[in-house]
Structure 1
Amino acid sequence: MTNPVLESLAKARHSAVHLEMRDTYQPGDPEFLAWQNGKRLDREAERSTWWRPFLDVVVETRARGVAMRRARIVSEPVTDYIRYEYDVTFPNVVAGELVRWLPRRQAADIPLPGTDLWMFDGEAVLFTHFSGVGEVVDREWRTEPEVVQLVSSAFELVWKRAVPHEEYRPV
């Protein structure tokens, strides 16, 4: 495996959290472009039509007892990209990932890291740095206790305020 997220999920012992804070990612993504042109995942269709290889990793990770939580901080009204993400999140939930959404206004007083991240086992943080349009530029591992503490406390505050995916409706 050369994907640091997949490698870390395979090694995770008890937790993996993912914090997303952008309103647009990779605008040239073929799946997003197809969604803009009307393609939708059909929950009732054959699972292979909407199952992604990443979700196999989620299932394996959850089967080992690792809690997986994803929180998304979003501006409202939401962008088309966030509508797309919302629309394609149900497979993550089916795979066992817990997903919540927090309107940005409700995060204004939370000290947040400057970019999206994954944190594994409360010990290591993988920051993802993006270009202005949402393309991944770089990833950076950090393990300093003060960085891990900032990420942990920020994520827990976001999680506490955020709305579960099943209850959130994009505005």
Structure 2
Amino acid sequence: MARPSFEELLRRAEESAVHLEMRDGYMLSDPAFIDWKAGMAIAPRERWPQWFEWVGDARKRGVSVRRARIVSEPVSEYVRFEYEITKGLNIAACEQVRWLPRRRATDLALPGNDFWLFDGKIVLINHFNGEGELAPDDEEIRTEPEVVSLCAKAFETVWERAIPHEEYEPA
């Protein structure tokens, strides 16, 4: 049986989809990041129309979509890019977003990789190489109760400590 895609997992979600990001840089080859670095304006609805569709469909079904980011401070150039597009992309698509300065995460038990958790049952692990690019085996599905539990607890603990996007000022 083929592994379901992110889009399929989000479309199947009935209650929740949560995402924990823990890196200070992703996809530095992303054309949007390159354009942003060059001073170009980024129009999220034009760049990522599928994101608005996917999250919008989920929200219409009553699915809560939350994203938490653990970031080093002062923030990296990539995190500043993420911060600047979050309102027009993630918040505009009806996600809830929070930020946790890494210094406030020292005592947390965290999984080794970023992940999405769907309905508290299915974990989609994201694998990146050392440069922040997607690794050849970029995604992995995990459903073992101990993995699901670790990811669920980690996300909720980060979420409780994190600062809502509208209150966070990147250092």
Residue by residue, what CA displacement relative to the aligned partner does 1:116-164 show, whole Å, maximum 9, x if unpaired? 0000000010111110001111211110111111001110000000000
2:45 & 2:7 partners in 1: Cα distance? 20
Aligned position for 2:14? 13
Separation in 1 of the partners of 2:139 and 2:170? Answer: 29
Tell whether 2:162 aligns with 1:166. no
How many residues are treated as equivalent by the alignment? 166
2:124–2:142 contact (8 Å) kept in structure 1? yes
* Equivalent of residue 60 in structure 2, options 59, 63, 70: 63
2-structure distance, mates of 1:119, 1:17: 5
Q: Distance in 2 between matches of 1:26 and 1:155?
A: 22
The offset of 1:56, in angstroms, is: 1.2
Residue 70 of structure 2 is aligned to residue 73 of structure 1: yes
CA separation of 1:48 and 1:156: change in aligned 2, threshold 3 A: closer
Aligned match of 1:135: 133
Aligned equivalent of 2:150: 150
Q: CA deviation at 1:7?
A: 1.0
Partner SS for 2:92: helix
**1:5-34 residue CA offsets vs partner (Å, 9 max, x unmatched):** 111110001000000000000111111010
> CA contact under 8 A between 2:45 and 2:52: conserved in structure 1?
no
Give the alignment's TM-score, normalised by structure 1. 0.92
Percent identity, aligned pairs only, is 54
Equivalent residue, structure 1, for 2:99: 101
Tell me the distance in 2 between the aligned counterparts of 1:168 and 1:108.
19
What one-letter code is carried by the residue in structure 2 that aligns with 1:142? R
Q: Secondary structure at the match of 1:95?
A: coil
Q: Where does the alignment leave 5 or more consecutive residues of structure 2 unmatched?
A: none
Structure 1: runs of 5 or more not aligned: none
Map 1:39-54 → 2, pairs under 5 A: 39-41=40-42, 48-49=45-46, 52-54=49-51
Q: Deviations over 1:68-107 (max 9, x none)?
A: 0000000000000000001111121121100000000111
Question: Partners in 2 of 1:3 and 1:141 — Cα distance?
Answer: 8
Q: 2:86 aligns with which of 68, 86, 89?
A: 89
Q: Return the letter of the residue paired with 1:144.
A: E
**CA distance in 2: counterparts of 1:19 and 1:52, whole angstroms:** 22
User: TM-score, normalized by length of structure 2?
Assistant: 0.92
In 2, Cα distance between the equivalents of 1:89 and 1:48?
12
Cα distance in 1 between the residues matched to 2:47 and 2:92: 11
**C-alpha distance in 2 between matches for 1:69 and 1:154:** 13
The separation in 1 between residues aligned to 2:168 and 2:5, in whole angstroms, is: 30
CA distance in 2, matches of 1:102, 1:52: 27
